[in-house]
């Protein structure tokens, strides 16, 4: 199996196993699906964290308004009574006015938070450090865990305008958000290796050869952004080790030079009393007790 270390820019993303015989077109689709799937998991975890703290999202026409403004405009959240968390709610006002403040109780909150942690760990960037490959099945498993936790806490479902529900239904609208800058649509996705774009009409072996026991670093990015920066010859960790080695070596050489500068003081010719002791016949006399 060929192991790909997928990066976006200089930032590590995940490891992915494939074969040299795979077509680049299929490879791009697989890698892009995992890349975007991990982003979806991150967005859901962020929103579900807010859900556990402040309850469901208010209707769009009520978001950001003060209680007085809502009263003056005679607006009402029709989903407040329909979407009640299991075991009742605890009021915790959302200061930015995005959610209704009726948060799940402590037990249900723990269910959401524990699931969030498990889902994040499943597709975390730390998996690459642990030499664990991320698959689309792992991404789907993380999404299923999150969906299941929401169903446990909100068995009646979430409002249709809640971003968590739209994410699960794949109807999310990310236009105008920072998240939209991270997503790479599959038709516009590219993979680069060693300063070369992996062209979709070829196979991976056309670029890396026929050796299945190969590990390469590929970079994913949007079409039209040009070639990404090439990987440094020496990694950051290796560079630190080299700098530490040369610093220690420099200190050792400096110490040796200092030792050599005073070594002559131990020589016979540097002894001011050597000639005097020679005439008196007391040279090389050793003293010891009787």
For 130-155, the pLDDT digits (tens) are 999 999 999 999 999 999 999 999 99
For 186-211, the pLDDT digits (tens) are 999 999 998 899 999 999 999 999 98
| Of the listed ranges 57-61, 77-81, 122-126, 160-164, the one predicted with least confidence | 77-81
For 59-94, the pLDDT digits (tens) are 999 998 888 998 899 998 889 888 999 999 999 999
Q: Two tokens at 9?
A: 């820019």
Task: Please report, for the chain, the start and end positions of each structural domain, with discontinuous segments joined by +.
Answer: 2-222, 236-280
| pLDDT value at residue 269 | 59
- What is the CB neighbour count within 10 angstroms for residue 8? 14
Helix (H, G, I), strand (E, B) or coil at 281: coil
Gap between the Cα atoms of 231 and 34, Å rounded: 22
Selection from 137, 72, 149, 139 nearest residue 110 by Cα: 149
| pLDDT value at residue 1 | 86
pTM of the predicted model, to two decimals?
0.78
- What is the CB neighbour count within 10 angstroms for residue 205? 16
Helix (H, G, I), strand (E, B) or coil at 110: helix
């Amino acid at each position: 199996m060929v192991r790909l270390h997928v990066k976006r820019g200089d930032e590590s993303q995940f490891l992915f196993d494939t074969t040299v015989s795979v077509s680049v077109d299929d490879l791009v689709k697989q890698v892009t699906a995992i890349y975007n799937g991990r982003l979806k998991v991150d967005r859901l975890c962020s929103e579900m964290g807010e859900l556990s703290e402040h309850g469901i999202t208010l209707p769009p026409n009520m978001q950001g308004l003060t209680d007085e403004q809502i009263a003056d405009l005679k607006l009402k959240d029709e989903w407040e009574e329909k979407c009640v968390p299991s075991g009742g709610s605890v009021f915790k006002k959302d200061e930015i006015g995005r959610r209704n403040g009726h948060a799940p109780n402590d037990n249900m909150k723990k269910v959401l938070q524990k699931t969030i942690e498990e889902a994040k760990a499943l597709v975390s960037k730390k998996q690459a450090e642990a030499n664990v490959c991320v698959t689309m099945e792992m991404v789907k498993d993380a999404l299923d865990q999150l969906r299941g936790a929401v169903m446990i806490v909100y068995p009646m479902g979430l409002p249709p305008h809640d971003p968590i529900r739209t994410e699960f239904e794949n109807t999310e609208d990310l236009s105008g958000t920072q998240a939209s800058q991270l997503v790479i649509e599959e038709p516009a996705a590219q993979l680069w290796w060693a300063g070369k774009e992996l062209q979709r009409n070829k196979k991976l072996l056309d670029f890396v050869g026929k050796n299945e026991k190969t590990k390469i670093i590929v970079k994913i990015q949007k079409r039209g952004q040009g070639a990404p920066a090439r990987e440094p010859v020496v990694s950051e960790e290796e560079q630190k080790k080299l700098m530490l080695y040369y610093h220690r070596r420099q200190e050792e050489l400096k110490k040796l030079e200092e030792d050599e500068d005073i070594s002559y003081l131990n020589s016979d010719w540097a002894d001011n009393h050597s000639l005097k002791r020679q005439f008196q016949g007391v040279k090389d006399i050793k003293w010891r007790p009787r």
